[in-house]
Structure 1
Amino acid sequence: MAGDASDPIVRVRDISVRFGATKVLDGLSLDVKRGEILGFVGPSGAGKSVLTRTIIGLVPKIGGSIEVFGVDLQTADPTARRAVERRWGVLFQQGALFSSLNVRQNIQFPVREYLNVSQRLLDEITIAKLGMVGLLPEVADRYPSELSGGMIKRVALARALALDPELVFLDEPTSGLDPIGAGDFDDLVRTLQRTLGLTVFMVTHDLDSLHTACDRIAVLGNGKIIAAGSMADMLASQHPWLRAYFHGKRARAVVG
């Protein structure tokens, strides 16, 4: 279900981020609508992952405001901010699983951080989340080094869903996967979004993902949003980068 334009779950206004002398984000504004899958694209190194990390508080901004669930994350007190953080889940690039922890411990990590529950309930949550992402219970005792790339992404998604979030950030979730694995992961994300009512902010460069999984697309360029809309809007745009990206050689099979 696509989101309601009047009800953004994330509201970013005039965000600027600088690394040394380089301004990566320069007055960027963006809404993520409730219930949508928003695909966030742009040139390599443009700052797509930087925006994700800025929203969740891992990268400091030098200007602008960020509201999530109506809460200004800069002015919120620690209790209010922690309550917001519990309502989102994050899948980082390459999964970012803790290599010294097994799958069970990785999935339970955010639950232990926010809730005081019994080990029995923790184990039940682990098995439920593994099933949700299409993995068998016996995977729980494996370590990340024993998993395929696709399984790592699914375990990372299970961890992101551990606290039953309303909002999920996915940073290049299909990167490194073969086309079949990437397609299966896109289908999984779409299914979970529909069944759980999730709002999804997905950083991606995968044209197939944009076509099959996303309700709307936002494009980053020169530190700002240069376009936002449906796939039809992207295909109709005359912007040089959008034309190169959505009508280039790699796009032909997908668009056709």
Structure 2
Amino acid sequence: MQEASTQPVISVRDLIVGFRDRNVLDRLSLDVRSGEILGLVGGSGSGKSVLLRTIIGLLPKRSGTIEVFGQNLDGLDDGPRRALQRRWGVLFQNGALFSSLTVLQNVQFPMREFLHLPEHLLDEIAATKLAMVGLSRQDANKLPSELSGGMTKRVAMARALSLDPEVVFLDEPTSGLDPISAGDFDALIRTLQQTLGLTVFMITHDLNSLHAVCDRIAVLAQGKIVADGPMSTMLASEHPWVKSYFRGERGRLLEHSHEPLPG
């Protein structure tokens, strides 16, 4: 796997996020290092997507600090914040494509918001992004309703890459895919990360993905990060949830049978 820098691209400290009288994240701290693929795992409802959405500014926090590229998000005006947002891309759970837009138009959507380019250039850039994720020009005019699950995820990835980001947030990128499609998408994530030098923050419950592509894993439970490290750290942990997840029946099967992806 690609050697990651120790310099954090994302630094979260003492983050509290809640709804009504309940805190979902309770003084959570986490770093995401430059050039790594970090896999975030936790039980259903543990707050994984809440953390991602708070980092990118879609949910408010109650307290704590979030720094991205060394900038505290609290202190940014609209202009600098928009400039920072151009440096990351997001693949939302289930793709979140606009159903009334074609594949090409979905990929162009962030470009139209941030860039001022003639139509033919937008078409060329979007076609290039689609090619990067393994889709053809023939796919560009399809609507989301005409796509398979794997193709939907690839279009969403192309859209996440449309502004040439340095960081990509992936929310359950292989959920809903059959094992072969999920494995292909894992390989795509690794290839794109290595080719483009991306930092990847990936929420997943897929043990195959955690084994195959993640440089480091962080486990979210009780509102905090309770384990953090490579797969060997997860397998040695005595935390009850971590032990059950990584050393349960499925985890033991994967540990003995998994072959790393080429790269």
TM-score (norm 2): 0.96
Give the distance between the partners of 1:154 and 1:64, measured in 2 at CA: 34
Give the distance between the partners of 2:3 and 2:45, measured in 1 at CA: 29
Structural RMSD (CA): 0.6
User: What is the SS of the residue equivalent to 1:246?
Assistant: helix
Give the distance between the partners of 1:56 and 1:234, measured in 2 at CA: 27
Give the distance between the partners of 1:79 and 1:171, measured in 2 at CA: 26
Q: Which residue of 1 aligns with 2:3?
A: 2
Following TM superposition, where does structure 1 have runs of at least 4 consecutive aligned residues deviating by more than 3 angstroms? Answer: none
Give the distance between the partners of 2:181 and 2:150, measured in 1 at CA: 7
Q: Which residue of 1 aligns with 2:31?
A: 31
Give the distance between the partners of 1:194 and 1:208, measured in 2 at CA: 19
Give the distance between the partners of 1:20 and 1:153, measured in 2 at CA: 33
CA drift of 1:69 comes to 0.6
Contact persistence 1:24–1:46 (CA under 8 A): yes
User: What is the SS of the residue equivalent to 1:4?
Assistant: coil
Q: Which residue of 1 aligns with 2:12?
A: 12
CA drift of 1:79 comes to 1.1
Give the distance between the partners of 1:126 and 1:192, measured in 2 at CA: 16
Q: Which residue of 2 aligns with 1:202?
A: 202
Give the distance between the partners of 2:137 and 2:254, measured in 1 at CA: 35
Structure 1 stretches of 5 or more lacking a match? none
Match for 1:214: what amino acid?
C
Q: Which residue of 2 aligns with 1:225?
A: 225
Match for 1:240: what amino acid?
P
1:136 aligns with 2:136: yes
Q: Which residue of 2 aligns with 1:100?
A: 100
CA drift of 1:250 comes to 1.8
Q: How many residues align?
A: 255
CA drift of 1:161 comes to 0.2
Give the distance between the partners of 1:191 and 1:110, measured in 2 at CA: 23
Contact persistence 1:88–1:169 (CA under 8 A): yes
CA drift of 1:78 comes to 1.2
Q: Which residue of 1 aligns with 2:170?
A: 170
User: After superposition, what is the alpha-carbon deviation per residue over 1:197-222, rounded to whole angstroms, capped at 9, x for unaligned?
Assistant: 00000000000000001000000010
Please show how residues 20-169 of structure 1 align to structure 2 within 5 Å: 20-169=20-169
User: What is the SS of the residue equivalent to 1:65?
Assistant: strand
User: Sequence identity of aligned pairs in percent?
Assistant: 65
CA drift of 1:241 comes to 0.8
Give the distance between the partners of 1:254 and 1:19, measured in 2 at CA: 37
User: What is the SS of the residue equivalent to 1:245?
Assistant: helix
Q: Which residue of 2 aligns with 1:235?
A: 235
Structure 2 stretches of 5 or more lacking a match? 257-263
